[in-house]
Chain A
Amino acid sequence: MSDDNLLRTPLYDLHVEAGGKMVPFAGYAMPVQYPLGIMNEHLHTRDKAGLFDVSHMGQAYIRSKDGSDPAKIIEELMPSALSVLKAGKMRYSVLLNDDGGIEDDLMVTRTFEPEGTLYVVVNAACKNKDYDILEDKLGDRLTLEPLEDRALIALQGPKAEAVLSALAPEVADLAFMEATMVTLEGVVCWVSRSGYTGEDGYEISVPSDEAEALSRRLLISDDVELIGLGARDSLRLEAGLCLSGHDFDASTSPVEANVIFALGKKRREDGDFVGAERILGELGNGAANVRVGIVPSGRAPAREGTEIASEDGEIVGKITSGGFGPTYGGPVAMGFVPASLSENGTKLKLMIRGKAHEATVTATPFVPQRYKRKQS
C-alpha cells in the first residue's frame, strides 16, 4: 500500500510537525516514534505522562432495536459480565467466534443514555471484521453506529491526572475503568480512566475537528510528550497485556490466552455465550497450551515468532510478543507453552537465530500496574 492510500487520523499534521516517523499501521499512517525515540518515550510515560493518538481504533455505539438492554444481546458473543454494567462503568472483553476463539479484544462501556447504549472501542486492524461479525450475527436485534467523526487520544502516566484535572477537576474523581462526559476546553468529550500501558491515565474521545487543539493544549505541560506506536507496544508488553492478532488469534480461546479475568463469574455458571462448551471445558480441565510471561536470562531480545523449547530441547511453542522492556531493563516476552511448562519459574530455552538461550516462565505484569482503582 503506497502512502497515498493510507488513512490519516485527525492528528496527522501534528505528528508530522512534531517530527513523527510515520509508518503504515492497520491502513493508517501512524507515528512509530518521535525525535525523543522509543526508549525515552517509554520511560517518559512511566515517569510523567505520554500523549498517544489512538484515533485509528474503532469507536462505536451499540443500541438494541427494541429498546431492550444491548449488553444482554452482545453477551451472546462476549463472555464478560456486561449486562450488569452500570452507567459510566467499563469492562475489557473479547469477541468470540462459534469455536470459542477470540476474534478481537475490546473495551465495552455503558453510557449514560437512558436506553443503556454501549460505547465500544475495538482494535484498528479488526474494526471492519468486528463490525461485520456484530452485524451478521446480531444485526437483527442491534444497531451499530461507528463514530467516524471522533478522534481518540490517550493520556497515560503518573502525571496524567494532574494534567487533565487542570482542565476539568472532575476527572480526578474517576476510578480505573470508569467513564463520564467531561467538557475540556469548551468541547464535550467522553473521558475514561483507562488505557493500555499499565499506567494510570485517561482515554479521551473527542470530536475530530477539536482533537488537534485539545492535544496542543495538553502538550503545553512540560510533563506531557507525544508518544508513538513503538513505545505503546513496549509499554503494553511490560504491562503483560495482549496484542490482538499476535498474542491471540481467532483460534485462541480466552483460557489459552490467559484472559480468564474477562469471563464473568455468573457467565461461567450460565455458559450462555458462543464457544462456551470449549471455554468452560478448558476452565475445568485446563487448556493444552497457555500464554505465559517469559524472561530471557541474557540480554538478547526474543522477538515474535521465536521458537520456545523445553529444557531438553524439544520445540514446544512460540513467542507471540517480545522485545526489550525499557523500564524492566532487559528483554521480556510472552508466548504459548504446554500447560505442563506454564508454572512460574519453569526453565525454557528460546531458539534465537539458531542458538538456545535460557529463559524462565515469569508472572506478568513485568512492571507493576499502577491503576487508580476505586477505594473500597
Chain B
Amino acid sequence: MTKYTEDHEWIEIDGDVATVGITDYAQKALGDVVFVELPEVGATFSAGDEVAVVESVKAASEVYAPLTGDIVEVNEDLEGEPALVNSDSTGNGWFFKIKLANVADLDDLMDEAAYNAHVAGLD
C-alpha cells in the first residue's frame, strides 16, 4: 500500500515500517538533486518535523516526517549518487525507513487517487 502527503512524499508500508521518498512531481519541481541530508538511524521524529534536506543546484528544500516514529534505515546510496532521486524517485531514490509509533496514523494520508487529484489542482 502506498500513501502520499500534500508535501509530495510517498510512503510505502510494510507492517509497521514505512519507506519514504519524494514523488515524481517533487523531483521534477526540485530539478537536479546534488545532495541529500538524511536523518540519523535511531532518531525519533514527530509528524511534521524536518527530517531531511534535499538540495538541487539552485536551492535547499526541507523534507518533513510524514508520520511519527523512529528511523530504522537510511538510503546510503544517495550519498554517492543523489541523482537517484531524479532518475528513480519512487524506487532506488528512497530516503529513509521509519518505524511507525502508531500505524493507524496512516489513515490521515492520501491514497494515490487523492494525491493525483491534489497534484492536478496545483497546475
Contacts and interface: CB of A to CB of B under 8 A. Distances in A.
Interface string B18-34: 00000000000001101
Given A38-B56, A234-B57, A323-B58, A301 B35 contact: yes
A290 B12 CA distance: 50
A303 interface: yes
B53 A324 contact: no
Contact of B31 (A33, A233, A303, A353): A33
Interface in A294-329: 299-301, 303, 323-324, 326
B93 to A, nearest CB: 16
B51 to A, nearest CB: 12
Contacts of A323: 57-58
A348 to B, nearest CB: 19
Given A301-B55, A301-B60, A326-B57, A39 B79 contact: no
B37 interface: yes
Contacts of A233: 58
A38 B79 contact: no
Nearest to B53: A353
Q: For chain A, what secondary structure do more than half of its interface residues adopt (helix, strand, loop), or is it mixed? A: mixed
A353 B61 CA distance: 12
A230 interface: yes
B35 A300 contact: yes
Nearest to A352: B37
Nearest to A32: B58
A39 B57 contact: yes
- The number of chain B residues touching the other chain, given as a range, is 10 to 19
Interface residues of A, number: 20
Contacts of B53: 353
Contact of A39 (B32, B59, B60): B32
Contacts of A230: 31, 57-58
A39 B35 contact: no
Closest 9 CB pairs of A and B: A39-B32, A324-B34, A38-B57, A230-B58, A324-B57, A299-B35, A37-B31, A301-B55, A300-B35
A234 B31 CA distance: 14
A331 interface: yes
A300 B37 contact: yes
Given A38-B57, A353-B53, A299 B31 contact: no
A291 interface: no
B26 to A, nearest CB: 15
